[in-house]
Amino acid sequence: MGTNSQRSDFKPEVDLNRNAPPRSDDDRAMSSVSVKGLKENWQKWSSEHQESQKLNPFSHDTRQTVVVLQRGQDDYGRPQQGSLTEKRGKEAHTHIGREVQKLCEVIRDIGEHGGKGITVEFGKLFEHYVAISNTLVGILLRARKQGLVNFEGEMLWQGKDDHVAITLLE
C-alpha cells in the first residue's frame, strides 16, 4: 500500500485542546476541590482497610485487636455470629436436611419391609435416586451419621456395591 502519508485514509493527529479556551481561576479552584475530595476519599478507604486488616487473621498486621479462640472454647471453629459465612452454613445445613428427608422417603417407597426395618439394595436405590440428585452416597453417609440408615462398609461404589443392603432405621 505505501506509507501513511501516501494512504488515502490517513488523518494526522489533531490536538483537541488547542482551540479550548484558557482555564479560569474558578475552573482551577473546582479541580483542586475535586482532587481534595479524591484525597479525602482515598484516606477514608485507607483507614477502613487498615482497621479491617487488624481483624483479618491472614494479615501480617501485628496489632491484632481480635481475641483468638483456642481449642476447647465454645465458639472455636465456628463462624462469627451474624456473618455471611454463618448464614451460608445454616442454609447448607437446611438443604442437607431436606436431602436426607427425601432419601428416607425414597427408601420407604421402594424398599421392602423386614424385621429390622425397611431395606433396599444400593443398586436399586441408586437407579431411583439418580433422577433426584447426583449426591446419593454423600447423603447416605450423612443419614448414617444421623442414625437414620445403616449399611455395611465405609463407602458405597456403584457397580461394586450394588447388592449392599441399606436399612432405614426410623
Domains and CATH numbers, the chain: 25-68 (no CATH), 84-168 (1.10.10.1540)
pLDDT surpasses 80 at 68: no
The cell numbers describing 121, all together, are: 439394595
Q: Give the largest Cα separation in the chain, rounded.
A: 97
pLDDT surpasses 90 at 95: yes
Number of neighbouring beta carbons within 10 Å of residue 133: 13
Residue 78: the pLDDT is 83
Does residue 67 or residue 30 have the better pLDDT?
67
Number of neighbouring beta carbons within 10 Å of residue 82: 8
Does residue 41 or residue 130 have the better pLDDT?
41
In 3D, which of 81, 51, 75 has the Cα closest to residue 64? 51
The per-residue DSSP string of 50-82 comes to HHHHHH-TTS--S---SPPP-TTSTTTTSPPTT
pLDDT surpasses 70 at 22: no
Residue 141: the pLDDT is 92
Q: What global pTM score does this model have? A: 0.55
Query: Mean pLDDT in the chain?
Result: 80
99 pLDDT band (50/70/90 cuts)? very high
Does residue 143 or residue 53 have the better pLDDT?
143
pLDDT (tens digit per residue) in 23-37: 665 555 555 568 888
Residue 72: the pLDDT is 82
